[in-house]
Chains A and B, each alone.
Chain A
Amino acid sequence: MIPELGEFALILAMLLSALQGFFGIVGPAVKRERWMAAVLPAVSGQFVMVAVSMGCLITSFVNNDFSVKYVAENSNSALPLFYRIAALWGAHAGSLILWIFLLAFWSIAAAIGTARLPKPFASRVIGVLGVISFGFLLYTLATSNPFLRLDPPWPDGESLNPLLQDPGLAGHPPVLYTGYVGLAVAFAFAGAAMLEGRLDRDWARWTRPWTTAAWAFLSCGIALGSWWAYYTLGWGGFWFWDPVENASFMPWLMATALIHSLAVTEKRGLFKSWTLLLAVLAFSLSLVGTFLVRSGVLVSVHSFAAAPGRGEFILAFLVVMIGSALALYAWRAPLLKSEAGFELTARESFLLFNNILLVTACATVFAGTIAPLIAAPLGLGKLSVGPPYFNPTFLLSILPLMALLSVGIHARWKRGSLGNRARILILTLVVSLVIGCGVVFGLFTGGRVLSPIGIGLGVWIIISSLIDPIDRLRRHITIPRAVLGMTLAHIGLGIFVISITSVEAFTAERDVALAQGGTTQLGEYRFQFEGVKPIQGSDYDGVAGTILVSHDGSPVAVMHPEKREYFVQHIGTTHSAIYMYRVSNILVALGQDLGDGRWSMRVQVRPLVTFIWLAAFIMAVGGMLAISDRRYRIAEAREPAIEPVGAVTRSGAG
């Protein structure tokens, strides 16, 4: 009964989303007030129905209803309640339900957030979101219905992939999807502006907080995923340039470009058509990412959920959504006029370079991701695209970006002089490079050529980001939250650059075979193996090793890496033990039982690796801080009228 209710609610949600899309887009076009008024009830109803549907699926999981195929395939009565709920998004159909739920959530939030904006514009925004919802609901019902029954029901389920039975799984997909789907709002704002045929600085101000929020979630989601891979896959890697990872990274790069381009559009009324294009592309890449991951076109190590036969539908959906958005763009964008010019050394230029470099970086990742796909039909064959391609090409555009950042944030709008900041910038660059070289050649050894550059740039980004806030503090000028948020995000980026550099350059690792009491040395760290003990969990058993770690002779930690064997699926997993000591992560993973009490194991020391994820989190916090800036709240309350393209707007918030 409950699964049928869920399916029925999903069908109702699809019908409501169709109404939402129709009234939202056609209403303003034919200027019918009552049609536009129908949009809010439609989106609210859609949200409620989607929530009911998701609630039904969760209920089936919680009640161990193994007559539902999706539940039987992904859950098990031995599974703890927490993972029975998280199992919802452990595979394809449930992930889609989560996607749809989050889209409905963003839609209702956007409906509330745009309530004070001009009616036709708000209804177009919600209308575009309705079309997206409709596409995904139709896709789910047509190809991936999670409510299908099994006859006869299975006595017990197959259980969730043990790799996914992890707290990281519970957090990673929902956060990542929140970011992915959030870009739909920016897309909808762009769609509404193009349907309307006008775009001004108010539009940019309305769009900014939504974009930044989605970006912040995306940052956290990617970081959580990387962290999850780091400690569950057991081998201490944190980024593999895997198609699934790239699928989340590309929208992030685009969203980052969009955030900066929106700043220019808001402050100076420039880059209008470019901003529109970025908004369309950022969400398009989310969709393309979904396509690549779900269609089975690219098979990935991570694609637990790839399913052939669904690709055609997603491709058709991509053509409708992205194709019509880009066609609309080709038609409307030429109408948009820039409101002013700027000098080559003005902040606008730096932000333009920021955009070009980010988009280039995104394009190189995109090319690498789909290269196997293009090479096959062309008969080029023999293509293996991995870190040897991604690392250097990505750095090629990202390094200049990092170098320009510190100067760019001190450039002024419109006019190009750095003024009195030039001296302090040069000074900080020198200091940073000295610190970079010092860190690389002093504290650690064995760094490569790029290491001092990386650490130097990272330090420079942090120091130069602090110049302006410190200056304001000294002169007792209040710092707006937007500036504070930006500063925090840039500091996060600096920390990120430093930690990536140090992980890449200074990680020490060794695979050894140890008998009980045996020791191995890794740099200043000593590892002593004390044997293994059996362990028992609710749906697995296995062994846990004991390893004593000491640093320079003084004890640091007792570590217990595990090897688990899950009953239901007979799958073994490696649970490496990770201990944070000072700024380094010590990782021990158990390998094979070599007999006679001897075990193979991997020991690893990675300096600063935790800071990679911490940095992403700092960036996200910076974004959230920027959203809370006064001007987004006050300005909306003023209800500024939309002015025609090319007109100079009155509300110059900058």
Chain B
Amino acid sequence: MSRFVNRFTVPLAIFAVLVVVFAIGIKDSPQKDLIPSPLIGKPAPAFALPSLTDPGRKVTSAQYRGHWYLFNIWGTWCIDCRIEQPMLLKIKQAGIIPIVGLDWKDDPKDARTYLKQAGDPYQSIGMDQDGAEAIMWGAYGAPETFLVNPEGIVVYKRIGPITERAWEQDILPRLPLTSTPDSASSS
């Protein structure tokens, strides 16, 4: 064994590799808060959920067939969702893509009161009181957001609040330039 390669330098070498991995983890900003989801590249789960804001109506995946949309899992109990709220309102104002909410393990009354106070960024919201729908999406925390294309395929997933940066660098570039909710129809 040479002077520089022996069993005592192995820990240092392993550490160096780890540092590179960590550095990529930090620097690679589009990947930063993106924990791989088995759903990426696959069809989004089909859903038909009772609407939070319009009782008696249903929010379904069929309504969004042919449109880009963001599927945002949230709850009034979730701190980070409140942090995310202003950004979602901005996205709504931009008018580029509709947001479909999934009100996860929440009290519908609380949720309605909250949206009245804080503003409602969603085009429609499905209720998921028992958490069954969120499981279909593989969510394990809130907020989580999925970008779904007109073919119903999940193209991007974000864990944690959508930041200004994530919106500009991860979500906007994935959308076709000319797209508005109505012109992106593929059928």
Task: Show the binding face of A for B, using Cβ within 8 Å.
Answer: 161, 273, 277, 280-281, 284, 291, 295-301, 304, 306, 308, 311-312, 315, 318-319, 322-323, 326-327, 329-330, 333-334, 370, 372-377, 380-384, 565, 569-573, 592-593, 600
The residue from A161, A297, A301, A374 contacting B26, defined by CB atoms under 8 A apart: A297
Do residues A326 and B141 form an inter-chain contact, with CB atoms below 8 A? no
Do residues B26 and A382 form an inter-chain contact, with CB atoms below 8 A? no
The residue from A295, A334, A377, A573 contacting B31, defined by CB atoms under 8 A apart: A377
B168 on the A face (CB < 8 A)? no
B36 on the A face (CB < 8 A)? yes
Given contacts A277-B11, A297-B26, A384-B38, whether A592 and B129 have CB atoms under 8 Å apart is yes
Stretch at the interface among B17-25, B44-52, B53-61, B170-178: B17-25
Do residues A334 and B15 form an inter-chain contact, with CB atoms below 8 A? no
Nearest B-chain residue to A332, judged by Cβ: B8
Do residues B6 and A334 form an inter-chain contact, with CB atoms below 8 A? yes
Q: What residues on A are CB-neighbors of B94 within 8 Å?
A: none
Stretch at the interface among B75-83, B148-156, B179-187: B75-83
Q: Nearest Cβ in chain B — how far from A561, in angstroms?
A: 15
Given contacts A384-B138, A571-B79, A593-B107, whether A281 and B36 have CB atoms under 8 Å apart is no
Number of residues in B with C-beta < 8 Å to the partner? 42
B117 on the A face (CB < 8 A)? yes
Nearest A-chain residue to B144, judged by Cβ: A299
Starting from the known contacts A299-B35, A315-B19, A384-B138, 6 additional A-B residue pairs (CB-CB under 8 Å) come to: A295-B26, A311-B26, A319-B19, A323-B19, A375-B36, A570-B76
Task: Show the binding face of B for A, using Cβ within 8 Å.
Answer: 6, 8-9, 11-12, 15-16, 18-19, 21-26, 28, 31-38, 40, 76-77, 79, 82, 107, 110, 113-114, 117, 129-130, 138, 140-141, 159-160, 163
Do residues B11 and A330 form an inter-chain contact, with CB atoms below 8 A? yes
Which residue, B8, B31, B76, B140, has most C-beta atoms of chain A within 10 A?
B8
Q: What residues on B are CB-neighbors of A311 within 8 Å?
A: 22, 25-26
Do residues B107 and A323 form an inter-chain contact, with CB atoms below 8 A? no
Do residues A570 and B117 form an inter-chain contact, with CB atoms below 8 A? yes
5 A-B pairs in the complex with CB atoms less than 8 angstroms apart: A296-B32, A315-B26, A372-B36, A571-B79, A573-B77
Instruction: Count A/B pairs, Cβ under 8 Å.
Output: 111
Do residues B38 and A570 form an inter-chain contact, with CB atoms below 8 A? no
Do residues B26 and A312 form an inter-chain contact, with CB atoms below 8 A? yes
A184-B36 Cα distance, complex, nearest whole Å: 34
Do residues A572 and B107 form an inter-chain contact, with CB atoms below 8 A? yes
A378-B113 Cα distance, complex, nearest whole Å: 44
Given contacts A323-B19, A372-B36, whether A273 and B77 have CB atoms under 8 Å apart is no
Do residues A323 and B141 form an inter-chain contact, with CB atoms below 8 A? no
Closest 7 A/B residue pairs (Cβ): A381-B36, A326-B12, A330-B9, A311-B26, A333-B8, A301-B141, A297-B25
Q: What residues on A are CB-neighbors of B117 within 8 Å?
A: 570
A384-B130 Cα distance, complex, nearest whole Å: 22
Do residues B141 and A299 form an inter-chain contact, with CB atoms below 8 A? yes
Which residue, A296, A323, A571, has most C-beta atoms of chain B within 10 A?
A571
Q: Nearest Cβ in chain A — how far from B117, in angstroms?
A: 7
The residue from B28, B32, B77, B79 contacting A304, defined by CB atoms under 8 A apart: B79
Do residues A592 and B26 form an inter-chain contact, with CB atoms below 8 A? no
Do residues B33 and A296 form an inter-chain contact, with CB atoms below 8 A? yes
A339-B24 Cα distance, complex, nearest whole Å: 43
Q: What residues on B are CB-neighbors of A326 within 8 Å?
A: 11-12, 15
Do residues B36 and A373 form an inter-chain contact, with CB atoms below 8 A? no
Given contacts A161-B79, A330-B8, whether A373 and B22 have CB atoms under 8 Å apart is yes
Nearest A-chain residue to B3, judged by Cβ: A334
A329-B38 Cα distance, complex, nearest whole Å: 41
Do residues B28 and A377 form an inter-chain contact, with CB atoms below 8 A? yes
The residue from B11, B28, B34 contacting A281, defined by CB atoms under 8 A apart: B11
